[in-house]
Chains A and B, each alone.
Chain A
Amino acid sequence: MKSLLPVTTILTAIVALWYLGAVYLNAPWAYDQADRAGVELTTGQLVADTMRQERPVLPAPHQVAGEIWKTTAQKKITSKRSLVYHGWITLSATLLGFAMGVALGILLAVGIVHNRAMDLSVMPWVIASQTVPILAVAPMIIVVLYNIGISGLIAKATISAYLSFFPVVVGMVKGLRSPDQMQLDLMRTYSASPAQVLWKLRWPASLPYLFTSLKIAIAIALVGAIIGELPTGAQGGFGARMLNGSYYGQVLIIWSALVGAAVCAGLMVGLIGLAQRIVLTRMGMAQNGGSV
């Protein structure tokens, strides 16, 4: 594990910075309280106080860790106070939206590559769709969907799909076009049908591009699901936790939801990376397999 040292170094640096920030940002409150009580704080007391405030500006890492421990391991996962319960609500919308987005992205890419009219007309709209801030679009999508009878999971998944189809379209158009002229000529000498060219040449050639796109797509699908939870006043999910936390000034809840979401995204990206390694190795196309 050559990477262990650099990884722990960076991690330690981040945690250290986080603690420094916590001391700096929470100090005014500590001074204020001490002032009212009419006592002088030593440096040691000050630091200790900034680490255990109930409503800190920036909670210390161990406070967030403690909150996460309390809301995962020490709660039943069916409890509304369990982060796992909320995590699953967001995750299910994420996965559904991701699946919808990937399917849409691949379909659009196949259309763009095979149809000149689509090539010219669809791509500008695809790009335009992503230039609009999702925070502005999300409530409108929720409202429109609600009025045609769709709400909850599918509505949230739609926002995920709206975000996650984009990297798939861009990556797959590039991937499906990656075979060079000679490989296409070869298929032509076999009188291969367009479907055969797609399945036997373009699709396998595009897989490395697809996996790269999927990693981006799954991460922003999670962002989409969380954003989808904000305007609905959803009762569950990371987004609902964050919203609740900010209503009641419970910074720890916000931070633990944030960390929970980050861990979920990291795990999902890691899973796709694993799938990528397995698939590409089996196909003889592993990135590091080129030298023997």
Chain B
Amino acid sequence: MTGGSVIDAQGLDLVFQTNDGPVHALSDVDLTVGQGDFISFIGPSGCGKTTFLRVIADLEQPTGGAISVNGVTPHEARLNRSYGYVFQASGLYPWRNIAANVRLPLEIMGFSRAEQDERAARTLDLVGLTGFERKFPWQLSGGMQQRASIARALAFDADLLLMDEPFGALDEIVRDHLNEQLLALWAKTHKTVCFVTHSIPEAVYLSTRIVVMSPRPGRIIDVIDSDLPAERPLDIRETPEFLEIAARVREGLRAGHSYDD
């Protein structure tokens, strides 16, 4: 699965200065993400998993250490438009229909109108939303909105997909369904995915590697390589192999005193 490294973080530190004093969001984070990996970041709130994703996306500036994305700084990577970012809420623009929402990054990046339409159609097909192009976001269910936002992140063919608890606000049944679709999508597109979650089954089900993090200060406690097969039906979650990995993740979370309070 792994090729060259897409993300390379060495001794990454990030301290937020707040009114209540400094908050150590990331402390000495070392991580290498290879080409085609599906990496999940798991941990309780405040463990820095979202912050780390935002550092990769150049939405936060680290206060120490080094990080490269595609071999360049996150800032250059952002200017090269080398990643698609999916937020916890779909963030679709209410005044644009679904196709126009998917076209948004393409308009900004200056694709021709014909190419915009072609790419919007292709990525909407990829997430199973063909036929909904002309619907407005409020006419779609939460799960469909989130799929549209994934299509939007895929539209400009960035090799790296950063996903910040994209299914966190959805109910479990929709979530299972989207997890299955996301795996299929990943198999089809060979993208590198960084996925933030606080659900252990979700992390184990989706990932090739699971990064377990702990708060105060935010740091990595364990990196677990999953040896589950690439082909993963939903009921793989009842197999002993799956449960074994899940147990290791839970252990890691406990070892980090993540559930102190």
Min distance, Cβ A245 to any Cβ of chain B, angstroms: 48
B87, A200: Cβ atoms under 8 Å? no
Looking across the interface, which residue of chain A has its beta carbon closest to that of B100?
A: A284
Checking B78, B87, B94, B108 against A182 with a beta-carbon cut-off of 8 angstroms, the contacting residue is B87
1/0 per residue, CB under 8 A from A, across B79-103: the answer is 1010111011101011111000000
Q: Assess whether A285 is interfacial by the CB under 8 Å rule.
A: yes
In chain A between 270 and 292, which residues have their CB closer than 8 angstroms to a CB of chain B? 283-285, 289-290, 292
Checking A189, A201, A283 against B78 with a beta-carbon cut-off of 8 angstroms, the contacting residue is A189
Q: Assess whether A196 is interfacial by the CB under 8 Å rule.
A: yes
Checking A190, A285, A290 against B81 with a beta-carbon cut-off of 8 angstroms, the contacting residue is A190
Supposing A284-B136, A284-B138, A292-B139 touch, asked if A192 and B108 sit within 8 A by C-beta, the answer is: yes
Q: How far is the CA of A196 from the CA of B89 in the complex (A)?
A: 22
B91, A182: Cβ atoms under 8 Å? yes
Q: How far is the CA of A283 from the CA of B96 in the complex (A)?
A: 7
Residues in A neighbouring B217, C-beta threshold 8 A: none
A191, B78: Cβ atoms under 8 Å? yes
Q: Assess whether A204 is interfacial by the CB under 8 Å rule.
A: yes
Residues in A neighbouring B93, C-beta threshold 8 A: 183, 201, 204-205
Which label, helix, strand, loop or mixed, suits the secondary structure of the B interface? loop
Checking B59, B88, B97, B109 against A188 with a beta-carbon cut-off of 8 angstroms, the contacting residue is B59
A191, B87: Cβ atoms under 8 Å? no
A200, B95: Cβ atoms under 8 Å? no
In chain B between 174 and 212, which residues have their CB closer than 8 angstroms to a CB of chain A? none
B57, A189: Cβ atoms under 8 Å? yes
Q: Assess whether A185 is interfacial by the CB under 8 Å rule.
A: yes
B87, A185: Cβ atoms under 8 Å? yes
Residues in B neighbouring A205, C-beta threshold 8 A: 93, 95
Q: How far is the CA of A181 from the CA of B85 in the complex (A)?
A: 14
B78, A188: Cβ atoms under 8 Å? yes
Residues in A neighbouring B87, C-beta threshold 8 A: 182, 185-186
Contacts between the two chains (Cβ within 8 Å), count: 57
Q: Assess whether B125 is interfacial by the CB under 8 Å rule.
A: no
A285, B78: Cβ atoms under 8 Å? no
Q: How far is the CA of A207 from the CA of B93 in the complex (A)?
A: 13
B91, A189: Cβ atoms under 8 Å? no
Looking across the interface, which residue of chain B has its beta carbon closest to that of A196?
A: B108
A284, B97: Cβ atoms under 8 Å? yes
Looking across the interface, which residue of chain A has its beta carbon closest to that of B106?
A: A190
Q: How far is the CA of A196 from the CA of B105 in the complex (A)?
A: 11
Q: How far is the CA of A205 from the CA of B137 in the complex (A)?
A: 15
Q: How far is the CA of A44 from the CA of B85 in the complex (A)?
A: 81
Q: Assess whether B244 is interfacial by the CB under 8 Å rule.
A: no
Residues in A neighbouring B94, C-beta threshold 8 A: 283-285
Residues in A neighbouring B95, C-beta threshold 8 A: 204-205, 207, 283-285
Q: How far is the CA of A196 from the CA of B97 in the complex (A)?
A: 19
Residues in B neighbouring A192, C-beta threshold 8 A: 108
Residues in B neighbouring A283, C-beta threshold 8 A: 94-95
Q: How far is the CA of A205 from the CA of B84 in the complex (A)?
A: 23
Q: How far is the CA of A285 from the CA of B107 in the complex (A)?
A: 21
In chain B between 201 and 234, which residues have their CB closer than 8 angstroms to a CB of chain A? none
Interface centre among A189, A196, A285, A289 (most CB of B within 10 A): A189
Q: Assess whether B55 is interfacial by the CB under 8 Å rule.
A: no
Supposing A188-B78, A190-B105, A190-B109 touch, asked if A182 and B97 sit within 8 A by C-beta, the answer is: no
Min distance, Cβ B52 to any Cβ of chain A, angstroms: 15
Across chains A and B, which 8 residue pairs bring their CB atoms closest together, nearest first? A284-B136, A283-B95, A189-B85, A204-B95, A190-B108, A192-B108, A190-B105, A191-B79
B-side residues, CB < 8 A to A, are: 57-59, 78-79, 81, 83-85, 87-89, 91, 93-97, 104-105, 107-109, 136-139
Other than the given A183-B91, A189-B57, 8 more pairs (CB < 8 A) read A182-B87, A185-B87, A186-B85, A189-B59, A191-B79, A283-B94, A283-B95, A285-B95
Sample (22) of A-B pairs whose CB atoms are under 8 Å apart = A182-B89, A183-B93, A185-B59, A185-B87, A186-B87, A188-B58, A189-B59, A189-B78, A189-B83, A190-B81, A190-B105, A190-B109, A192-B108, A196-B108, A205-B93, A207-B95, A283-B94, A284-B97, A284-B138, A285-B95, A290-B138, A292-B139
